[in-house]
Amino acid sequence: MIYGLPSKIEVKQGSSTDVYDVNMDPVPHIIKRDSKKKLHGWWPGKRECTAERLLINPYNGCTHDCFFCYAHAFRGYFEVYAKNNIVTVFEDFDKKIAKQLDSMDIASAGYLSPVADPFQPINSRYRLSEKIIKVFVERNLPVGIATKGEISNEVLLLMKTQRHSFGQVSILTTDEGLRKMLVPKGKSTQALFKNLQRMASLRIHAVCRIDPIIPLITDSDNALRKLVKRAALAGANHIVASCLDIPVKSKNMIIESASKINPQVKNYYNKLFSERIDGYLHANCSYRKRLFSRLRNLCDKMGLTFALCMEYEYQDGIARGLNSEFMSSTSCEGIDIPIYFRNGDKFFPAVDCRGNCLNCDYALCGIDDLAMGKNRIKGDWKLEDYHRWAKELKAEKAKQSSLERESRIN
């Protein structure tokens, strides 16, 4: 045993069980070698993210310890952290990503990270986030980051060289005392706003994520006004927001944790979180719409664009996204990022493509699957789909060339 933790841990994945040594520096973690992880797009099911992304989680589990984190309900290596406070590190993931990108002729922007913070303390040892960002930028591919940590100078200088790369900083409150209760091991409020300032000074698209807004804790008019104003002064171009939703599996833990900050939460949440969509409890839609209307008005007055993240309402038994009602930008992150195509050893953006695939009716990129405005059946694209699109476009190009030759002969 090491500091109350076992020196080894068993992890069951499917029908197999693996045994890992538990390392303690700088936080308890295990190393997953020979991972079969692949680049992929958004998860199947409800889709409200406008643009395609290649999702990247170099670490599973996050020591920022946000009590409201939806990943507490995830399985696999995320569950290892939820149960044991042990992070999983995917060894040499940057090299695997490099090989996968080199097998592709079509790519979308990378995204670090959709679940586990790429700049949590474990990254100081393995630096997988910096290595992965370098892999993308060296190939002239954009990459977006989302963090409650401190962005390194190396990352900012890399991102500066790629015009469609962007950074998102999650800031829940301007009150540092409250921040410590919400994100106990994240960076200070001052450091988070400094992230925005540093990006803005390098002309990197800077996004402030108020994600999530927590009812009875961070949702007052005054608190939100202070936060939006300070984000604007720090150089943010855009605000992304969501309201707390609660995984059914984590309901008791989340309500108990929130009630330690505000005792009124317990009774209030049992009434407010009345809408269940899949495995999550959402605040009732009238509350959320009032909240998002206030935020949109604040952003309009301060000259910032605005969008929501994964917010829905039920209509006729179907979960409908709320972004169409509140978003003031073309794409969720406030920056239009086209699909990229290979030319030699680098990638270049598709001409006239805005990258807002979810609302696109005509695929200027040439990939009909991505024009999801006319067809939202799928959207959970995998590495194999990117390979397929390249083959289909190549075949179509050969067909057109053949037809042109025949036309000239005739």
DSSP string of 73-128? G--THHHHHHHH--EEEETTHHHHHHHHHHT-SEE-EEEE-SSS-TTSTTHHHH-H
Q: Which two tokens stand for residue 302?
A: 């301060």
Q: How far apart (Å, rounded) are the C-alpha atoms in residues 381 and 388?
A: 11
For residue 387, count CB atoms less than 10 angstroms from its CB and return exposed for 0-12, middle for 13-18, buried for 19 or more: middle
- What pLDDT is recorded for position 374? 73
Is the C-alpha dihedral spanning 146, 147, 153, 154 positive or negative?
negative
All domains in the chain, ordered by first residue: 31-382 (3.20.20.70)
8-13/16-21 β-pairing: antiparallel
143-147/166-170 β-pairing: parallel
Whether pTM > 0.85 for this model: the answer is yes
| pLDDT mean for each 10 residues of the chain (410 residues) | 74 88 96 94 86 97 94 90 95 98 98 96 98 98 98 98 98 98 95 98 98 98 98 98 96 96 96 93 97 98 97 87 96 97 98 93 92 76 97 92 76
- What pLDDT is recorded for position 3? 54
Q: Which two tokens stand for residue 175?
A: 């009150």
Q: 159: Cβ–Cβ under 8 A, 6 or more apart, which residues? A: 133, 137, 143, 145, 165, 166, 167, 199, 202, 204
- What pLDDT is recorded for position 1? 45
- What pLDDT is recorded for position 410? 67
Report the alpha-carbon angle 257-261-262, nearest 5.
110
Tell me which residue of 324, 359, 353 sits closest to 336, measured CA to CA: 353
- What pLDDT is recorded for position 15? 83
Cβ count within 10 A of residue 190: 10
